[in-house]
């Protein structure tokens, strides 16, 4: 009888994730002591090479979970582990190091790019931010090809692309640094 192989350590482990937003004053007719329960008790794991989809109605907290995992928002409660390290309360250099390994593609391809920058520069931005500028000349054409766009697209501006093409450019930008995890906010694949 052969042994069952041990499952790999999760690359992402979320346990009991909670995010509550306080209602500010009477902005919506509510009292100052009220809160919006955006996420309550979400738990999941993602193994290396695995894909996880959060599915639900609009407004149910999918984007909030994504922003919590990315540490763009702080959790009210719960833990987020990345490759075995609790990142729930990381800050400074440790948080920057995490963000080198986790990239995001936001759902709005129109606001994802600076309209004054050529898309090749935008796709290269994560590489430059990580001090890998020497890789840009080779990596950007490779990424454009990977997402089905011509290399000449690098010299164009965001307004010259359709929404779907911009989303592919956002995917190329996220993949540029070869992250361990890519978070796609809803409709990112559409």
Where in the chain are the domains? 7-89, 92-190
CATH superfamily of 92-190: P-loop containing nucleotide triphosphate hydrolases (3.40.50.300)
Q: How far apart are CA 161 and CA 167, in angstroms?
A: 10
- Which residue do the tokens 């930008």 mark? 173
pLDDT one-digit tens code per residue, 165-187: 999 999 999 999 999 999 998 65
Please name which of 4, 17, 72 lies closest in space to residue 43, comparing C-alpha atoms: 17
* Residues with pLDDT less than 70, the chain: 1-7, 25-32, 186-190
Mean pLDDT of the chain: 89
Residue 147: count other Cβ atoms within 10 Å of its Cβ: 17
Could you tell me the two tokens for 92?
Answer: 């400074």
Q: Which two tokens stand for residue 135?
A: 């890789």
Distance separating alpha carbons of residues 115 and 119, to the nearest angstrom: 9
pLDDT at 112: 85
| CATH tag for 7-89 (out of 3.40.50.300, 3.40.50.620, 3.30.470.20, 3.40.50.720) | 3.40.50.300
Per-residue model confidence (pLDDT) at position 154: 97
Answer whether 7-89 and 92-190 agree in fold. yes
Among residues 84, 81, 79, 69, which one has the least CA distance to residue 9? 84
DSSP class of residue 181 equals E
Please tell me the predicted confidence (pLDDT) of residue 95: 87
Query: Is residue 102 a contact partner of residue 183, using CB atoms and an 8 Å limit?
Result: yes
pTM of the predicted model as reported, rounded to 2 decimal places: 0.82
């Amino acid at each position: 009888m052969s042994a069952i192989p041990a499952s790999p350590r999760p690359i992402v482990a979320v346990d009991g994730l909670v995010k509550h937003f306080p209602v500010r004053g009477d902005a919506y007719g509510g009292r100052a002591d009220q809160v919006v329960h955006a996420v309550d008790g979400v738990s999941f794991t993602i193994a290396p090479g695995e894909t996880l989809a959060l599915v639900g109605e609009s407004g149910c907290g999918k984007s909030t979970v994504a922003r919590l995992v990315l540490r763009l928002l702080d959790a009210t409660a719960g833990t987020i582990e990345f490759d075995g390290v609790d990142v729930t309360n990381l800050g400074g250099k440790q948080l920057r190091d995490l963000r080198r390994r986790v990239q995001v593609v936001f759902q709005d391809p129109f606001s994802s790019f600076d309209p004054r920058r050529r898309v090749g520069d935008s796709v290269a931005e994560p590489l430059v931010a990580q001090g890998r500028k020497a890789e840009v000349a080779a990596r950007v054409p490779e990424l454009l090809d990977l997402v089905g766009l011509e290399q000449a697209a690098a010299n164009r501006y965001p307004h010259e692309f359709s929404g779907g093409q911009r989303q592919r450019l956002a995917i190329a930008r996220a993949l540029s640094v070869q992250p361990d995890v890519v978070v796609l906010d809803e409709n990112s694949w559409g």
